[in-house]
Chain A
């Protein structure tokens, strides 16, 4: 049996060497994704600074304190605050009305007098509410500024120690990965997943086109050996593709794994085990090389986006997480993103178990499909 498995692995690797097109999608797709998300996170705003105008009508020290907080407050994680420009009121109003300025904050005249006389002083934010997400992000930041002022945490120290209630924060990771770092990390996995699944789909469909699959299936080799051999052959094939993509992504984006290399390696193996039989099934069903490649790529890309390839899905409602949790790509992403940025062995069991279960179930499905194929032929 072991000899038969080894022979199947050898045969599949020889076939991959003769037809190196399988590397193409696993290089092109992650790089295009990286380019698209680079444009998205740097131009759409995302977690970066939010452009906002500031109009200070009051000359009191309190107004200046408030303005300084708005201008200088910086997140303890990253720069997720306002990118402020000061204007006079007519200019801000003109820019705002012409949609050149999405929002401006007005510190009105009498702001300081109200505070010194013990009355409430109000800061006003004018916002172009083109969608609710913009309102959410701007209002959150203004709330943070108002809270800091009420806590007496003013620029430059932002010291909350004298506040009635301060916030002490601690984080799971020593540094917060930027949106782009996260994308770079998962792009490596995307390259790997594309190779594991799409190349398997393509190679299987190629065998159908050439008719070689019938010889293989009709041979006395046990089906289990065939499936295992073909799945195992996907391991060196996928690693060969990531030998190009992983260093390229790591060095160009300056993102390197901080987690345990062995665990990361294990996650990649589990990913291949779960995805290669799916690729096999796609190839067997479609039987046309190029269409199988397309279907494989579509499966991976959709699974990648829905499973948290562009941002973690942790905040999604449980029902949605339940649906995307049916996809093995989601669990590969969960494991990879967790261990890539954090040296931990905790919280890996569930997703690993799902990947192993996917491997076993999909292998059984492929075996059944092979049996049907032999009967048909």
Chain B
């Protein structure tokens, strides 16, 4: 075997051994994307699960009949589309007290005379009190009431409901949003894992004071760093299987598409990110700082790349700025593949991430080698002390 390949292989194996010996660090690579998934699931999954939004239902109607009971029944019916309502009958005073203290967010009042108005073809109204503490929350509280009233019109006021609607979906099944988020968090975990693992492989040399030994080992540092990059690529693949499995267990659905395409796109992404990671590690010299930088970079691209919702598909254009950012490109192709197995942009995105990956494989070891020669922290301190002296 060629000497350079031997150096890469030896460094690669050594790094993997270091990871095996350090389970705390390895847990971080798995735990951070998992915690991220759990936090966002709790944040955004609220409207999908549970018994529904607790809603105070105040029936002031003294002689409820067909219409009043019909409306009460519709309000309590299970709804395919969340948020669902969980009406809790109570008197007006209790409802108002709970609403004022913020313990209940929605109050629906059916006034006295409601039944009579509908029987005699007169007009009436229902009153809703909404805790408008946040725009999106307000939307989610109002919309189910509008939906229920619409259903009431279509069921009980046939003479007045002249218009109804049909929904034609593009595909027979709508993937759950939370499963979608789990799939995209796999890409996040690769970005985070690769940057953190590569950065950490560099910083440990500074922390354990073995960097000089590496430099004096008479082996080309570029190949040593390349070995570190490849080990980071392998480490970055630890979390995705867990996330896919978790999303399957929780939501019963796998993403669409070809596994090899996923591997190919993410391999190039991981190479690119590990290139960034070793440069970061060489500059920061401290593994603690690489974690927040890797995590924040990952979160930023997860959001702007369409991790929460498929941006391009919901009408947000994939602008010229995103077009040349390789992480967004990988998100674009993977999201399209995950949702409906569409490979329309695959060649373009593969080309862009491929170019970045190759360029970073070439330049990152060289840049990291140069950066490792300069102690930026010390330089900053020198500058500061010089300024203090003057």
Q: How many A-B residue pairs have CB under 8 A?
A: 323
Q: Within 8 Å of chain B (Cβ to Cβ): is A91? A: no
A129 touches B (CB below 8 Å) = yes
| A164 touches which of B160, B174, B315, B339 (Cβ 8 Å) | B160
Distance between A293 CB and nearest chain B CB, rounded to angstroms = 7
Within 8 A of A (CB), among B123-142: 123-142
Task: Return B381 CB to nearest CB of chain A, in Å.
Answer: 13
Contact residue among A118, A129, A149 (Cβ-Cβ distance under 8 Å from B174): A129
List the one stretch of B12-20, B147-155, B236-244, B267-275 in contact with chain A. Answer: B147-155
Q: Which of B163-171, B187-195, B257-265, B365-373 contacts A (4 or more CB under 8 A)?
A: B163-171
Contact, CB under 8 Å: A313 / B288: no
> How far in angstroms is the closest Cβ of chain A from B301?
10
| Binary interface encoding of chain B residues 68-106 relative to chain A, with 1 for a CB under 8 A from any of its CBs, else 0 | 000000000000011100000000000000011111010
CB of B376 within 8 A of chain A? no
The prevalent SS among residues of B at the interface is mixed
Residues of A within 8 A of B123 (CB): 161-166
A-B residue pairs, 7 tightest by C-beta: A317-B50, A51-B315, A316-B46, A347-B101, A290-B288, A347-B102, A133-B177
- CB contact under 8 A between A131 and B288, given known A120-B162, A316-B42: no
For residue B300, CB closer than 8 A to chain A, the reply is yes
Which residue of chain A has its CB nearest to the CB of B71? A165
List the A side residues contacting B342 at CB < 8 Å: 99
Verify A341–B50 contact, CB threshold 8 A: no
For residue A87, give the distance in angstroms from its CB to the closest CB of chain B: 13
Do A171 and B313 form a contact, CB below 8 Å, given A78-B138, A135-B81? Answer: no
Q: Taking the nearest CB of chain A, how far is it from the CB of B256, in angstroms?
A: 11
For window 27-73 of B, CB contacts with A under 8 Å fall at 35, 38-40, 42-51, 53
- Chain A residues within CB distance 8 Å of chain B: 32, 35-36, 39-40, 43-47, 50-51, 66, 75, 77-78, 80, 83, 96, 99, 101-102, 114-115, 118, 120-136, 139-140, 142-144, 146-147, 149-151, 160-173, 176-179, 182, 290-291, 293-294, 297, 302, 305-306, 308, 310-320, 323-324, 337-338, 341-342, 344, 346-347
Chain B positions near chain A (C-beta within 8 angstroms): 35, 38-40, 42-51, 53, 81-83, 99-103, 105, 117-118, 121, 123-143, 145-147, 149-150, 152-153, 157, 160-171, 173-177, 179-180, 286, 288-289, 291-292, 296, 299-300, 303-304, 308-316, 336, 339-340, 342
Q: Are B146 and A293 in contact (CB under 8 A)?
A: no
Candidates B133, B170, B340; contact of A312 at CB < 8 Å: B133
- A132's contact among B145, B167, B176, B336, by CB below 8 Å, is which? B176
The one of B147, B162, B170, B286 that contacts A127, using a Cβ cutoff of 8 Å? B170
